[in-house]
Chain A
Amino acid sequence: DADVTQTPRNRITKTGKRIMLECSQTKGHDRMYWYRQDPGLGLRLIYYSFDVKDINKGEISDGYSVSRQAQAKFSLSLESAIPNQTALYFCATSDLTASVSTDTQYFGPGTRLTVL
Chain B
Amino acid sequence: RKEVEQDPGPFNVPEGATVAFNCTYSNSASQSFFWYRQDCRKEPKLLMSVYSSGNEDGRFTAQLNRASQYISLLIRDSKLSDSATYLCVVNSVDSSYKLIFGSGTRLLVRP
B49 touches A101 (CB 8 A): yes
For the complex, would chain B's binding face be called helix, strand, loop or mixed by DSSP majority? loop
Residue pair A101, B31 in contact (C-beta under 8 Å): yes
Chain A CB count within 10 A is highest, among B31, B32, B44, B91, for: B44
Q: Flag the segment in B10-18, B65-73, B74-82, B92-100 that touches A.
A: B92-100
B60 at the interface (CB under 8 A from A): no
Number of interface residues of A (CB under 8 A): 26
| Stretch from A11-19, A42-50, A62-70, A76-84 at the B interface | A42-50
Whether the Cβ atoms of A100 and B46 lie closer than 8 Å is: no
Q: Which residues of A contact B51 (CB under 8 A)?
A: 101
Residues of A within 8 A of B102 (CB): 42
Q: Interface extent on B, as a size class?
A: 20 to 34
A33, B41: Cα distance in complex, Å? 19
Q: Chain B residues with Cβ under 8 A from A108's Cβ? A: 43
Residues in chain A near residue B96, CB distance under 8 A: 100, 103
Q: List A residues at the B interface (Cβ < 8 Å).
A: 31, 33, 35, 40-45, 48, 50, 56, 58, 88, 90, 94, 100-105, 107-110
Q: List 11 A-B contacts (CB under 8 A).
A: A40-B103, A42-B4, A42-B102, A58-B98, A90-B44, A100-B91, A102-B49, A103-B32, A103-B91, A104-B46, A109-B42
